[in-house]
Structure 1
Amino acid sequence: MTSKTATGREASEADAVPAARRGWTLALAGMGAFLCSLDVVVVATALPVLRTHLGASLSDLEWTINAYNLAFACLMLTGSALGDRFGRRRIYVTGLAVFTAASAACALAGGAGALVAARVVEGAGAALLLPLTLTLISDVFPAERRGAAIGLWGGITGLGVAGGPVLGGAITEGLAWQWIFWINVPVGLVMIPLSATLLRESRGPRPYLDVPGQILAGLGMFALTWAPVRAPSAGWDSPEVAAALAAGAVLVAAFLLWERRAAHPMLPLAYFRLRAFASANAVIFLQAVSLLGSLFMITQLFQTGLGDSPLETGVRLLVWTGMPMIAAPLAGALADRVGPRPLMAAGMVLQCAGLGWLASATAPDVSYGTLVAPLVVAGAGTGMIFATTAGAATAAVPAGDAGVAAGTNTALRELGGVFGIAVLAAVFAHSGGYETPASFVDGFKPALWVASAVAGAGVVAALCVPAKARAVPEDSAGPAEPAESAGPRSAASGS
């Protein structure tokens, strides 16, 4: 099948999808993305309460977030592959069931260890959900409307990020921390039958699972994420961390070697020769390092450093976390017209500038009004990145491999989040502590400067995104040559 034939067939099938089904798909897939993003951050405003209620240490607090992200990142590519093989709707519904059950287990946890274990399972369920949300959307929207749909998906994801701190703070203060997990249960129970009934079933182009590739990728991601998670308590120069980094490098190298010879690779390596695919993934990794690391610190700044309650913290952070709801849909629609590069670069510039401004302005006696402007600037940049990186990564590959691209992009985002929390926590611990508000600020400022610098590196990666798109043949295992002019699929070219 030629690229032209494949593209025409895909466009015809997508055009034939009824508007009602598109609406339901966007709503249900968006809700899945909302739940996954919500549970990354909903714990953030409850961290001080968990520290006292469960007697949790700094390491325990990191694990309540990183246990979720660890399973999320390690199993993301596996979730995409299972969807391609057994049916994306079927695996999506399975992911909802696992996520819902694990949320109930989190709520019932009686100690830090039980909570962390349940968060691992919850992250595994999210790994089945999130990469398939983009695939389900791409399957029913034609190329010329896909960017706008993905922009709305980014806005819904941003709503999860925005709502997490507020919801977590309100529930922690008004009810109990357990209810930040109980709220997922009725939502999941409603979504499971709706998704099984209203979503269109589809499969990917590979008829067999790449089991060795999945094992090597999962173990490699686990080792690489274990190292930064353990580094703050064990030390970056400890044998444990060094061994984990070395093992991760060896396993990833083995994965890459295997993928070069596999008959049905889970991740065609030739896609990384596409500048659009490679640079979009670099941007999302660096953005996540900066964003999740700074979120971990900023939520604690408002409570430990400035004395706000959990609810006050969530509400005051809305000027930051709420901006993606506005910026992401606008950026998604603009990406169809101008391409992702200017929007990615501008987003990373704004995130870099906002976090640097916040680091400079923070002091033990700082007023909230002083922090509003830098938070708004950083949040606007975050929304622009949400909308454009996922679209650029999925647009650079054949439509049948949208799940692979989405899984890779999301796995790197979660990996970046784990590194970000670990690195910024290490910088914080080196320079400050929890003893007094002043000592907290002493550690907070250098940690935020690091987050700003990482976002600055993301600007460079964003400028490497090509301006125009070129489609990859549907019947190819990967591009024959690097596409030096890759950009959004919106131009009906498909990439």
Structure 2
Amino acid sequence: MAQQTPTRDAVPEDVRPWPALFALCLGFFMILVDTTIVTVATPAIISDLHADVNSVVWVTSAYLLAYAVPVLITGRLGDRFGPKNLYLVGLTVFTLASLWCGLTNSIEMLIAARVVQGLGASMLTPQTMAVITRIFPADRRGQAMALWGATAGVATLVGPILGGVLVDALGWEWIFFINVPVGVIGFFLAVRLVPSLPTHTHRFDWLGVALSGLGMFFLVFGIQQGHKYHWNGWVMVSILGGVALFVAFVVWQAKNRVEPLVPLRLFDDRNFSISNFAISTMSFTATAMGFPTMLYAQLVRGYSPLQSALLFVPMAVMSIILAPIVGRFTDKVHPRLLTGVGFAVTAFAIYLVSRSLTATGPVWHILAAMTVLGIGMAGIWAPLAATATRNLPMQLAGAGSGVYNATRQVGAVLGSAAIAVLIDSRIAAHGLSGGAEPDGALHQLPAIVRDPFSQAMSDAMLLPAAVLVLGLVSVLFFQLPRHLTPRGGATPQPTAATTPAETPAPDPLTH
């Protein structure tokens, strides 16, 4: 009811928002690093566990799938049992699963451990965004969300670099063992610094959970296995079945008048809708680009994992330098400007990386392209996160953060699956099927096949560049946020997600 809202949104007076945010960002940073850290270890895992490329890609896809499917419901669980409690449970599950990952000795067991890791991540992530929305006042929320978004961007870039250092110095197992001490530190910081916020009863949309989860699984499984099984009948049934389940999910959300898993009125806010689509394209790219780059660096150039990871240093440095600068402009500049430039520069940089993946070309071409890539990415992560949540009312904080994180993960899952298919198909198209794909030996390829293999990786890199163009087109339709509208000027029309105070309506999320 309307009188419940103040109680729900009340925050203890002794809460220190910024220390709480830093504690939350540590756990968030750790799980996002794990999204990309495996890419640099791909050849090492292939060699040590005697697996093929498609199986090792499932090490990432299984994690992303287990991460994406429950994240809608875990956002609501945070509202019901307290975001701090769900954060701590998720961090514990993730940390213990990381230990399991490092101790495995088969590709099948590693994939299983990664599924559990993803479940822990799905419990943790929505709580970070929801807590920010609830403990920061509106006039400071943009800066806080900018830091949250910048954490996502920096983590995506640091993953391959950290992975290269660990794989080269200690072995691929340590990309997982490193999470154990970080998880323990993050747990105690969260216990001490993150406030316990009021909880709220929910009715959970279990049918919505089932439809969205099965739809995602069948779609991704079909896409990733399609090339291996020559797009036969059961593969197409899996893909079409996944699409049909997603359609059924949307229809059910529209008909569910009690408490849908995804309140569709969230998407009445144009900026929220665009931000969700745009972040999915960025996540698709960030996940997809790592695989061809790492395979090229280690199998064509003969670089070690550490040397391969150093290719990403210019990108990480530029992103880290520019993140706080972009954050200061997030509350002052039209999001269309920041994100439009960010997407345009990033798409161009990915194209430059693609053209630089040659068997004998100078390495500085790759480093220059990576520098441009870091500049572009800095204008995407933070502004999108801030724009997505700026207009959402408090009672939709859990649902909104769950949807945003789910779409971000959906993009990553599809990027992982799609790039695996494209790498396989381009290797075959260049006449290397069965000859150049690594099958358990971590060595530089013979000179005679390095050029066609490089061309295959270069071709694969064009996919994330093309997907970013879709993100660029979408952000051009951002509206001017209300806080930037001059007094007396035109303001956006009220939407279902921003019901005027003079016409209150009972919200199913407050029951």
TM-score of the pair, normalised by structure 2: 0.86
Compared CA separation, residues 423 and 230, structure 1 to 2 (3 A): same
1:192 matched to which residue of 2?
187
**Contact 1:131–1:407 under 8 Å retained in 2:** yes
Matched, 1:250 2:244: yes
Matched, 1:358 2:353: yes
Matched, 1:97 2:92: yes
Matched, 1:41 2:40: no
1:373 matched to which residue of 2?
368
Amino acid at match of 1:265: P
Matched, 1:121 2:134: no
Amino acid at match of 2:240: A
**Contact 1:41–1:164 under 8 Å retained in 2:** yes
Q: 1:158 aligns with which of 146, 149, 153?
A: 153
Structure 1 residue 473 displacement after superposition: 12
Matched, 1:441 2:454: yes
Q: 2:82 aligns with which of 83, 87, 108?
A: 87
Matched, 1:60 2:55: yes
Structure 1 residue 266 displacement after superposition: 2.2
Query: Runs ≥4 in structure 1, deviation > 6 angstroms?
Result: 470-474
* Deviation per residue, 1:269-290 (Å, 9 max, x gap): 1222321111111111112222
Larger Rg belongs to: 2
Question: Matched residue of 1:338: which SS?
Answer: coil
1:209 matched to which residue of 2?
204
2:164 matched to which residue of 1?
169
Question: Matched residue of 2:145: which SS?
Answer: helix
Distance 1:163 1:105 in 2: 23
1:465 matched to which residue of 2?
478
**Contact 2:146–2:385 under 8 Å retained in 1:** no
Distance 1:257 1:218 in 2: 15
* Deviation per residue, 1:359-390 (Å, 9 max, x gap): 22331112221112211112222222110222
Distance 2:209 2:493 in 1: 25
2:331 matched to which residue of 1?
336
1:240 matched to which residue of 2?
234
Amino acid at match of 1:450: L
1:326 matched to which residue of 2?
321
Compared CA separation, residues 457 and 318, structure 1 to 2 (3 A): same
**Contact 1:72–1:127 under 8 Å retained in 2:** yes
Compared CA separation, residues 268 and 203, structure 1 to 2 (3 A): farther
Distance 1:398 1:12 in 2: 11
Structure 1 residue 93 displacement after superposition: 0.6
**Contact 1:166–1:311 under 8 Å retained in 2:** yes
Bigger drift between 51-60 and 300-309 goes to 300-309
Q: How many percent of aligned residue pairs carry the same amino acid?
A: 30
Matched, 1:23 2:36: no
Structure 1 residue 328 displacement after superposition: 3.0
Amino acid at match of 1:465: F
**Contact 1:210–1:266 under 8 Å retained in 2:** yes
Distance 1:206 1:379 in 2: 43
**Contact 2:8–2:199 under 8 Å retained in 1:** no
Structure 1 residue 346 displacement after superposition: 1.1
Compared CA separation, residues 277 and 444, structure 1 to 2 (3 A): same
Distance 1:230 1:58 in 2: 12
Question: Matched residue of 1:234: which SS?
Answer: coil
**Contact 1:393–1:409 under 8 Å retained in 2:** yes
Matched, 1:414 2:409: yes
Give the 5 Å matches for 1:483-494: none
Structure 1 residue 299 displacement after superposition: 2.0
Compared CA separation, residues 2 and 330, structure 1 to 2 (3 A): farther
Amino acid at match of 2:455: D
Distance 1:323 1:312 in 2: 19
2:506 matched to which residue of 1?
none
**Contact 1:289–1:418 under 8 Å retained in 2:** yes
Structure 1 residue 46 displacement after superposition: 0.9
Amino acid at match of 1:245: I
Structure 1 residue 416 displacement after superposition: 1.3
Structure 1 residue 449 displacement after superposition: 1.7
* Aligned-pair Cα RMSD in Å: 2.7
Gaps of 5+ in 2: 428-435, 438-444, 484-490, 501-511
Structure 1 residue 165 displacement after superposition: 1.4
Distance 1:125 1:117 in 2: 13
Distance 2:313 2:13 in 1: 37
Distance 1:137 1:418 in 2: 26
Distance 2:259 2:22 in 1: 32
Distance 1:330 1:139 in 2: 25
Question: Matched residue of 1:208: which SS?
Answer: coil
Amino acid at match of 2:481: K
1:75 matched to which residue of 2?
70
2:431 matched to which residue of 1?
none
* Deviation per residue, 1:312-356 (Å, 9 max, x gap): 111221112343323333223211011322111111101110011
* Deviation per residue, 1:124-146 (Å, 9 max, x gap): 10011112111112221111111
Matched, 1:345 2:340: yes
Structure 1 residue 234 displacement after superposition: 2.7
Bigger drift between 277-286 and 237-246 goes to 237-246
Structure 1 residue 80 displacement after superposition: 0.7
Amino acid at match of 1:210: D
TM-score of the pair, normalised by structure 1: 0.89
2:143 matched to which residue of 1?
148
Structure 1 residue 10 displacement after superposition: 9.9
Amino acid at match of 2:281: L
**Contact 1:220–1:251 under 8 Å retained in 2:** yes
1:491 matched to which residue of 2?
none
Structure 1 residue 451 displacement after superposition: 1.7
Distance 1:410 1:74 in 2: 10
Amino acid at match of 1:147: G
Compared CA separation, residues 234 and 395, structure 1 to 2 (3 A): farther
**Contact 2:266–2:272 under 8 Å retained in 1:** yes
Structure 1 residue 158 displacement after superposition: 3.0
Amino acid at match of 2:245: L
Amino acid at match of 1:115: L
Bigger drift between 283-292 and 429-438 goes to 429-438
Amino acid at match of 1:22: P
Question: Matched residue of 1:423: which SS?
Answer: helix
